[in-house]
């Protein structure tokens, strides 16, 4: 099991943000409506991003995925929600330095510790 590098994880999240923004732009252009669409984007990006075989679009493109730390099985919907909800809280409440220290020490961020997950290379 080889852990995914921090820069690869960052690029995957950036790809996910681009996809999410593109979907938001497409829907708002087609329907001419901008209300409630940020919620759709938030839901798809943060809550469902890793629930399908532990991969978001960005992770799939970069050959990484989220697995359960102890069993090394793919994560499901519940672990994805826990992991990604804590990512948002981490971003809002906890200094990035703490998350970085956890990553450097264990290759896992706070959301990974709480959900019992880790991000690994698939190839």
Q: Which residues contact 97 (CB under 8 A, 6 or more apart)?
A: none
**pTM for the model:** 0.78
pLDDT per position in the chain (123 positions), as tens?
899 988 898 899 888 888 877 877 777 777 776 666 666 666 666 655 787 888 988 999 999 999 999 999 988 888 888 887 777 666 676 666 666 666 666 778 778 888 899 999 997
State whether residue 32 is helix, strand or coil: coil
What is the rounded distance in angstroms from the CA atom of residue 119 to the CA atom of residue 70? 12
Confidence (pLDDT) at 47: 54
| CA separation for the pair 17, 25 (Å, rounded) | 12
Q: What is the DSSP string of 62-97?
A: TTEEEEETTT-PBP-HHHHHHHHHHHHHHHHHS-HH
What was the pLDDT predicted at 68? 94
């Amino acid at each position: 099991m080889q852990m995914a590098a921090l820069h690869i994880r960052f690029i995957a999240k950036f790809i996910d943000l681009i996809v999410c923004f593109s979907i938001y732009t497409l829907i708002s252009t087609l329907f001419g409506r901008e209300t409630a669409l940020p919620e759709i984007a938030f839901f798809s990006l943060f809550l469902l991003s890793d629930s399908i075989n532990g991969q978001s679009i960005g992770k799939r493109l970069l050959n990484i995925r989220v697995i359960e730390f102890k069993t090394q099985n793919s994560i499901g919907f519940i672990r994805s929600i826990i992991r990604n909800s804590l990512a948002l809280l981490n971003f809002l409440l906890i200094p990035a330095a703490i998350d970085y220290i956890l990553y450097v020490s264990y290759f896992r961020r706070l959301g990974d510790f709480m959900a019992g997950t880790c991000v690994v290379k698939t190839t």
